[in-house]
Amino acid sequence: MRRLSARVFAFYWGEGIADDVPALTYYLVLSLAPFALGLAALEALLLQDVLSALQVVDQLNRFLPETLHDDIRRLVLGTRDDSPLLLGVAIVAMLWTTSGAIGVIERCLARITSGERHHIVIGRLRNVVLGGLVAIAVILASLSISIVSDFSYKLRAGSSVPGPTIIVFNTLGSILVFAAIYRHAPLGRIGWRPALKGAVPAGIAIQVVPAIVGLYVSAAAGFAAAQLFLLLAIVLLGLYIVAMAILVGAGLAGILEREQAAPG
């Protein structure tokens, strides 16, 4: 037990992951509204149907307390009716804030693998592109979930097949997205095998955390006097856990790549 504790300490604190978690949490908080608006704008430009917009809303609301769900729904659906200029601003804001979060992951991986950092301009542009790919992946996942649900319903009306199918699909999709970020974010690329292994805890956590957040909100629903504080606290707690899981996954990918590249 002592040896395990020492290894956990050396990994989480010794590799500097603990110092990066607050920074990633900050960018995740900062990107909540821009990401919602940017997704809605991309969805309006790419898919052109309300059902897919609702699927995007459902994906976003999984990470937020139920009290905010109607507001997010109105926010996303309302963006579809805005002018092209506002749609463009929404997409740019989403890409800029998301690129900051990816930059924290890149810094963590560069430090662990002792690799060089990107040029400040080129690196930011690369992270913007990766942020756009993540947004498109979320939209495609939402569209695919709609297709899977519809197919399962036609195959066997009234069955509960879509539930577990969608959970598995979401988890595998999240793992692939995080693996792609871990591989392409740093200047010295991470191999696919370390990236995929590191993405497993991040992909699982991003599915589990919303369920834990929902249980917490349900348990605290009766405390109306402290409702605002609890909403803020649970959003921050959920994003902090997600940030921790993402960086732990990045740390695992970096260490596996470092050991794989070590001579002998």
Least confident span in 31-35, 40-44, 218-222, 253-257: 218-222
Least confident span in 74-78, 157-161, 217-221, 228-232: 157-161
Chain mean position to CA 84: 26
**pLDDT at 161 (0 to 100):** 47
Q: Is residue 20 part of a domain?
A: yes
| Residues, the chain | 264
What number is the average pLDDT over the span 89-107? 86
Q: Is residue 257 part of a domain?
A: yes
Q: Inform me whether the pLDDT recorded for 98 exceeds 70.
A: yes
Question: Per-residue confidence at 157, pLDDT binned at 50, 70, 90?
Answer: very low
**pLDDT at 15 (0 to 100):** 85
Highest mean pLDDT among 81-90, 93-102, 158-167: 93-102
What number is the average pLDDT over the span 173-200? 90
The DSSP secondary structure of the chain, one letter per residue, reads -HHHHHHHHIIIIITSHHHHHHHHHHHHHHTHHHHHHHHHHHHHHHT--HHHHHHHHHHHHTTS-GGGHHHHHHHHHHHTTS-HHHHHHHHHHHHHHHHHHHHHHHHHHHHHTTPPPPPHHHHHHHHHHHHHHHHHHHHHHHHHHHHHHHHHHHHSTT-STHHHHHHHHHHHHHHHHHHHHHHHSSSSPPPHHHHHHHHHHHHHHHHHHHHHHHHHHHHTTT-GGGHHHHHHHHHHHHHHHHHHHHHHHHHHHHHHHHHHHS--
Q: Inform me whether the pLDDT recorded for 72 exceeds 60.
A: yes
The mean pLDDT value of the chain amounts to 76
What number is the average pLDDT over the span 90-95? 81
Backbone φ/ψ region at 166: left (φ over 0), alpha (ψ -120 to 50), beta: alpha
Q: Inform me whether the pLDDT recorded for 195 exceeds 90.
A: yes
**pLDDT at 60 (0 to 100):** 65
Q: Is residue 9 part of a domain?
A: no
**pLDDT at 168 (0 to 100):** 78
Q: Is residue 46 part of a domain?
A: yes
**pLDDT at 9 (0 to 100):** 84
Q: Inform me whether the pLDDT recorded for 234 exceeds 90.
A: no
Residue carrying structure tokens 């662990």: 112
Taking the complete model, does pTM exceed 0.85, yes or no? no
Where does residue 207 rank: exposed (0-12), middle (13-18), buried (19+ CB within 10 A)?
middle
Q: Is residue 1 part of a domain?
A: no
**pLDDT at 193 (0 to 100):** 92
Distance CA 152, CA 32 (A): 32
Q: Is residue 201 part of a domain?
A: yes
**pLDDT at 108 (0 to 100):** 92
Question: Per-residue confidence at 132, pLDDT binned at 50, 70, 90?
Answer: confident
Question: Per-residue confidence at 249, pLDDT binned at 50, 70, 90?
Answer: very high
Closest CA to 132 of 42, 264, 13, 44: 42
Q: Is residue 174 part of a domain?
A: yes
Comparing 88 with 115, the larger pLDDT belongs to 115
Q: Inform me whether the pLDDT recorded for 248 exceeds 80.
A: yes
Closest CA to 44 of 166, 153, 135, 176: 135
Residue span of the structural domain in which 193 resides: 14-261
How many domains does one find in the chain?
1
Distance CA 62, CA 50 (A): 19
Question: Per-residue confidence at 1, pLDDT binned at 50, 70, 90?
Answer: confident
Distance CA 127, CA 118 (A): 10
Q: Are 186 and 106 in contact, with CB atoms under 8 Å apart?
A: yes
Least confident span in 40-44, 140-144, 216-220, 251-255: 140-144
Dihedral sign for Cα atoms in the order 60, 64, 66, 71: negative
Q: From residue 92, how far is each of 85, 115, 129, 177, 192 by CA, in Å?
A: 11, 29, 11, 21, 29
Q: Is residue 143 part of a domain?
A: yes
**pLDDT at 221 (0 to 100):** 55
